[in-house]
């Protein structure tokens, strides 16, 4: 499950997980466990909300956070 950092217009970035990345034809994106970048709850959502649909038109851009498996890739090291 990819973790994303979504930059929404006129809002702080939101850290969340998705089942799949959005396609070019998608109008909405379903995110799970939405929270602020520091892990705190979003003030405009109820505390028990675990999934939210966001319209793609409100999103400036999305960063894909690498998982632990991707971080373990060893690249060329010059000594």
Domain ranges of the chain: 3-58
5 pLDDT higher than 90:
yes
78 pLDDT higher than 80:
no
Tens-place pLDDT, residues 34-61: 999 998 999 999 989 999 999 999 999 9
> Of all residues in the chain, what percent carry a pLDDT higher than 90?
62
Alpha-carbon torsion (28, 33, 38, 41), positive or negative: positive
pTM of the model: 0.75
Residue of 75 and 32 predicted with greater confidence: 32
> In 3-state terms, what secondary structure has residue 33?
strand
DSSP, res 13: -
pLDDT bracket for residue 76 (50, 70, 90) = low
pLDDT value of position 28:
95
């Amino acid at each position: 499950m990819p973790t994303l950092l979504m930059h929404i217009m006129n809002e702080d970035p939101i850290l969340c997980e998705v089942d799949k990345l959005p396609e070019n034809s998608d109008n909405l994106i379903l995110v799970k466990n939405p929270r602020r970048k520091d892990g705190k709850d979003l003030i405009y959502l109820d505390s028990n909300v675990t999934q939210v649909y966001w319209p793609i038109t409100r999103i400036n851009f999305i960063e894909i956070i690498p998982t632990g498996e991707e971080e373990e890739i060893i690249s060329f090291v010059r000594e």
